Amino acid sequence: MRTGSELRPRMTLRVDGALCRVLSADYHGGQGKMGGVMHAKIRDLQTGKERERRFRAEEAVEEVQPDKQSLQFLYSDGAVSTFMNPQTYEQVAIDSARLGKAAAWLTEETVVPVEFVDGEPLGIVFPEIAEGRVVETAAPYHSPGTDNVWKEARLENGVAVMVPPFIDVGEWIRVDVESSRYVERAKAKAR
């Protein structure tokens, strides 16, 4: 058991009988006799729906520790994503809604940790930052005084991201998976 003030992003909780993942958690301290409150954004792992919830600082919250297995992503048919255990060749199907925004970043043969609770797959543990190659955007430009102007870019996985004006087609960039926000150019390496 945890208290509401101990919640952190990426924790798995049982809230009102449903398994949920904490996406963000912001603590607001109270004053005087008013206790603090944790404002959390959570995703229901069964339905994939996101909602906001407030927890009192001293409120007891049940934390769930899922089992993790490294599975290889095979394919997605839109509604269901299929993973395989590389040792036993056993396949596991997970509703794509449970994967959240990370589903767009999965490529064939990617190995990711899949979380299980009571033998049922819940979702995947995906890095917070991912790299993608820009396949479509406006021509790059450099002009003084336009630091706050951004343009839209489409990555090879279909994700649309707002990028600075100096980004060009073919460049690799780093993106925050959950918010689909540009972080920085990816370091040059052999691809």
Residue 162, both tokens: 């707002």
Tell me if 152 sits within 8 A of 158, measured CB to CB.
no
What percent of the chain stands above pLDDT 90?
A: 19
Model pTM score: 0.69
C-alpha 148/C-alpha 162 separation (Å) is 11
pLDDT in tens, 114-146: 888 888 887 888 888 889 999 999 887 776 665
Q: What is the pLDDT of residue 58?
A: 85
Domains of the chain with bracketed CATH: 2-63 (2.30.30.30), 67-124 (2.40.50.140), 129-185 (2.40.50.140)
Tell me if 31 sits within 8 A of 57, measured CB to CB.
no
Tell me if 115 sits within 8 A of 121, measured CB to CB.
yes
